[in-house]
Amino acid sequence: MDREVAIDPVAVPAGLAALVAGRTWFRDRVGQSGCAVYRLARAGEDDLYLKMAGAETLSDLVDEMARLRWLAAYLPVPPLHGFGLEGDGGWMLTGRLPGRTAYQLLEEHPAAAPALAGSLARFLRRLHAIPVARCPFSADHALRLAAAKDRMDAGLVEEDEFDDARRGMSAQDVWGEMGAAMPVAFERVVTHGDFSLDNLLVVNANVVGCIDLGRVGIADRWQDLAILWHSLAEFGEESAGAMLQAYGIALDPAKLDFHLRLDEFF
């Protein structure tokens, strides 16, 4: 599947119109945030990115804007160029970070995964080292469990998109197994919430920033480690192991399994 497709320009609020005028629009086909995401290109200038939300995802977009503004004091994140609310809709316009996503790089050069794993781990340690007392946002597993159950009860969980380990299972089955294997303790750090290869920008084998920040908040460190481990394992478990070694933590199968199951609901 093409990761984006060219489209005609979309109407935006008057306050953003001048910023996006004269640009070529591309619709992202990969992101699963629930919002529509567009890349806006113009020759000789950096791309802009516009995320649009309707009534059902408006609060998610507001959450992401607030987290982006807060995290910018600690890590490189996209610059915020504009934000608008109009009726039941929301629009967030950001600039681009340099580089390419870690996934794009590894898709072309999969053998580079073990070497890149160290850079990914070091950036994650920077994030997890932000003082918890400074973070105003919670992404606690109890909150995520409540949201997961709401999505399951509403029939919003995409069971046909489950990972191979849970292929053919129902959301109810995954929920039951997840609850039965709940870890006894969680270690609170500032987490990204979706620390995957698509959300990390790389230049010269170094991670230079992160995107898609709507889930940032205090949670167990394995929320991020599990998603990154799973993303790297696509390119070989050696890469996933190298990431854990560079981060400085041993594999915790119980927490890995719990967080991967929980992520199936989102």
Which residues are marked as active site? 194
Q: What is the DSSP letter of 42?
A: -
Q: 81 CB contacts (<8 Å, ≥6 apart)?
A: 19, 48, 93, 94, 95
Only one residue has tokens 């490189």, namely: 76
At residue 22, the 3 state secondary structure works out as: coil
Rounded CA separation 223/195 (Å): 8
Rounded CA separation 129/225 (Å): 14
Concatenated DSSP letters of 120-170: HHHHHHHHHTS-GGG---B--HHHHHHHHHHHHHTT---GGG--GGGTT--
| Closest residue by Cα to residue 13 from 75, 90, 88 | 90
Are 83 and 63 contacting, i.e. CB atoms less than 8 angstroms apart? no
Strand partners, 93: 50, 82
